Amino acid sequence: MAEHDAEGVKPTPAVAVAVVERGRVLMVRRRHPPHADMLALPGGRIESGETLFEAAVRELNEETGLVAEAQRVVTAIDQLHYDNGGWLLSHFVIVVVACRRVAGNGVAGDDASEIHWLESRQIREASDLCASARQVALELLEGGQRR
Protein backbone atom coordinates (compact mmCIF):
# COMPACT_ATOMS: atom_id res chain seq x y z
CA MET A 1 0.00 0.00 0.00
CA ALA A 2 1.23 3.50 -0.77
CA GLU A 3 1.98 6.11 1.88
CA HIS A 4 -1.11 8.11 0.97
CA ASP A 5 -4.58 7.11 -0.12
CA ALA A 6 -6.91 9.38 -2.06
CA GLU A 7 -10.36 9.13 -0.52
CA GLY A 8 -12.04 10.40 -3.69
CA VAL A 9 -10.59 7.65 -5.89
CA LYS A 10 -13.09 4.81 -6.30
CA PRO A 11 -12.40 1.48 -8.04
CA THR A 12 -13.47 1.51 -11.68
CA PRO A 13 -14.66 -1.79 -13.20
CA ALA A 14 -13.09 -2.61 -16.56
CA VAL A 15 -12.46 -5.53 -18.90
CA ALA A 16 -9.44 -6.70 -20.85
CA VAL A 17 -9.97 -9.07 -23.75
CA ALA A 18 -7.77 -12.10 -24.40
CA VAL A 19 -8.02 -13.45 -27.95
CA VAL A 20 -5.68 -16.36 -28.70
CA GLU A 21 -5.29 -17.74 -32.23
CA ARG A 22 -2.63 -20.01 -33.71
CA GLY A 23 -0.31 -19.61 -30.73
CA ARG A 24 -0.54 -15.80 -30.72
CA VAL A 25 -2.32 -13.28 -28.46
CA LEU A 26 -3.93 -10.09 -29.75
CA MET A 27 -2.46 -6.88 -28.34
CA VAL A 28 -3.18 -3.23 -29.07
CA ARG A 29 -1.01 -0.15 -28.70
CA ARG A 30 -2.95 2.18 -26.41
CA ARG A 31 -3.48 5.81 -27.45
CA HIS A 32 -4.53 7.08 -23.98
CA PRO A 33 -3.60 6.57 -20.31
CA PRO A 34 -3.29 4.37 -18.51
CA HIS A 35 -0.39 2.80 -20.43
CA ALA A 36 -0.44 5.24 -23.36
CA ASP A 37 1.86 4.11 -26.21
CA MET A 38 2.29 0.66 -24.66
CA LEU A 39 1.06 -2.70 -25.88
CA ALA A 40 -1.77 -4.19 -23.85
CA LEU A 41 -4.79 -6.41 -24.17
CA PRO A 42 -7.73 -4.55 -25.74
CA GLY A 43 -10.30 -3.36 -23.23
CA GLY A 44 -11.82 -0.54 -21.27
CA ARG A 45 -14.44 0.53 -18.77
CA ILE A 46 -17.64 -1.42 -18.27
CA GLU A 47 -20.68 0.71 -19.05
CA SER A 48 -23.65 0.93 -16.70
CA GLY A 49 -26.01 -2.02 -17.20
CA GLU A 50 -23.47 -3.95 -19.27
CA THR A 51 -22.35 -7.47 -18.38
CA LEU A 52 -18.67 -8.45 -18.35
CA PHE A 53 -19.12 -10.44 -21.56
CA GLU A 54 -21.03 -7.63 -23.30
CA ALA A 55 -18.33 -5.12 -22.33
CA ALA A 56 -15.56 -7.43 -23.59
CA VAL A 57 -17.23 -7.99 -26.97
CA ARG A 58 -17.98 -4.25 -27.36
CA GLU A 59 -14.50 -3.07 -26.36
CA LEU A 60 -12.83 -5.60 -28.67
CA ASN A 61 -14.99 -4.45 -31.57
CA GLU A 62 -14.40 -0.74 -30.85
CA GLU A 63 -10.62 -1.14 -30.63
CA THR A 64 -10.00 -3.72 -33.37
CA GLY A 65 -13.13 -4.11 -35.50
CA LEU A 66 -13.26 -7.81 -34.59
CA VAL A 67 -16.56 -9.51 -33.83
CA ALA A 68 -16.16 -12.06 -31.07
CA GLU A 69 -17.91 -14.41 -28.71
CA ALA A 70 -17.03 -14.14 -25.03
CA GLN A 71 -16.13 -17.55 -23.58
CA ARG A 72 -14.93 -17.29 -19.98
CA VAL A 73 -13.40 -15.13 -17.27
CA VAL A 74 -9.65 -15.76 -17.10
CA THR A 75 -8.63 -13.66 -14.07
CA ALA A 76 -9.09 -10.30 -12.37
CA ILE A 77 -6.35 -7.72 -11.80
CA ASP A 78 -6.14 -4.66 -9.55
CA GLN A 79 -4.34 -1.85 -11.35
CA LEU A 80 -3.36 0.95 -8.97
CA HIS A 81 -1.67 4.12 -10.24
CA TYR A 82 0.15 6.49 -7.85
CA ASP A 83 1.87 9.81 -8.33
CA ASN A 84 5.49 10.41 -7.28
CA GLY A 85 4.34 11.46 -3.82
CA GLY A 86 2.53 8.19 -3.21
CA TRP A 87 -1.00 9.53 -3.71
CA LEU A 88 -3.47 7.17 -5.37
CA LEU A 89 -4.46 8.54 -8.80
CA SER A 90 -6.63 5.70 -10.09
CA HIS A 91 -7.76 2.18 -9.26
CA PHE A 92 -9.08 -0.12 -11.99
CA VAL A 93 -10.43 -3.60 -11.30
CA ILE A 94 -9.84 -5.34 -14.62
CA VAL A 95 -11.59 -8.61 -15.41
CA VAL A 96 -9.84 -10.50 -18.21
CA VAL A 97 -12.32 -12.22 -20.53
CA ALA A 98 -11.27 -14.83 -23.09
CA CYS A 99 -13.03 -14.31 -26.43
CA ARG A 100 -13.09 -16.23 -29.71
CA ARG A 101 -13.00 -14.26 -32.96
CA VAL A 102 -16.00 -14.97 -35.18
CA ALA A 103 -15.53 -12.28 -37.85
CA GLY A 104 -13.24 -9.49 -38.98
CA ASN A 105 -9.58 -9.09 -39.85
CA GLY A 106 -8.70 -6.47 -37.28
CA VAL A 107 -7.88 -2.79 -37.68
CA ALA A 108 -6.88 -0.30 -34.98
CA GLY A 109 -9.63 2.02 -33.83
CA ASP A 110 -10.94 3.97 -30.84
CA ASP A 111 -8.24 3.83 -28.10
CA ALA A 112 -5.92 1.59 -30.18
CA SER A 113 -3.31 3.02 -32.57
CA GLU A 114 -2.01 -0.41 -33.71
CA ILE A 115 -2.89 -4.06 -33.35
CA HIS A 116 -0.40 -6.91 -33.08
CA TRP A 117 -0.62 -10.69 -32.83
CA LEU A 118 2.28 -11.74 -30.59
CA GLU A 119 3.73 -15.19 -29.96
CA SER A 120 5.40 -16.24 -26.68
CA ARG A 121 8.91 -15.11 -27.62
CA GLN A 122 7.70 -11.64 -28.65
CA ILE A 123 5.63 -11.34 -25.47
CA ARG A 124 8.63 -12.20 -23.32
CA GLU A 125 10.96 -9.78 -25.16
CA ALA A 126 8.74 -6.74 -25.84
CA SER A 127 9.93 -3.81 -23.70
CA ASP A 128 6.77 -1.81 -24.44
CA LEU A 129 4.30 -4.44 -23.17
CA CYS A 130 2.32 -3.84 -19.97
CA ALA A 131 3.42 -6.20 -17.20
CA SER A 132 -0.09 -7.45 -16.46
CA ALA A 133 -0.78 -8.12 -20.17
CA ARG A 134 2.53 -10.01 -20.43
CA GLN A 135 1.66 -12.18 -17.44
CA VAL A 136 -1.85 -13.01 -18.69
CA ALA A 137 -0.69 -13.68 -22.27
CA LEU A 138 2.13 -16.02 -21.22
CA GLU A 139 -0.19 -17.90 -18.89
CA LEU A 140 -2.71 -18.34 -21.71
CA LEU A 141 -0.07 -19.47 -24.23
CA GLU A 142 2.23 -21.49 -22.03
CA GLY A 143 0.33 -22.24 -18.84
CA GLY A 144 2.48 -24.01 -16.29
CA GLN A 145 5.19 -24.77 -18.89
CA ARG A 146 7.11 -21.50 -18.34
CA ARG A 147 9.23 -22.48 -15.37
Catalytic annotation on 114?
yes
pLDDT tier, 93 (very low <50, low <70, confident <90, very high otherwise): very high
Catalytic residue among 21, 114, 119, 125: 114
Helices (H), 38-108: 52-64
- Tell me, what's the pLDDT at 106? 80
Give the rounded percent of residues in the chain with a pLDDT score beyond 70.
92
- How many beta carbons lie within 10 A of that of residue 3, not counting itself? 8
Q: Domain residues of the chain, as ranges?
A: 12-136
pLDDT digits (tens, 9 = 90+) for 95-144: 999 999 999 888 767 677 788 999 999 999 999 999 999 999 999 998 74
pLDDT at site 128:
93
Q: Tell me, what's the pLDDT at 41?
A: 95
Q: Cα–Cα distances in Å, from 94 out to 3, 15, 23, 72, 75?
A: 23, 5, 24, 14, 8
Instruction: Specify the CATH class of 12-136 in words.
Output: alpha beta
To the nearest whole number, what is the mean pLDDT of the chain?
A: 88
* 61: DSSP letter: H
Q: What are phi and psi of 48, to 5 degrees?
A: -55, 130
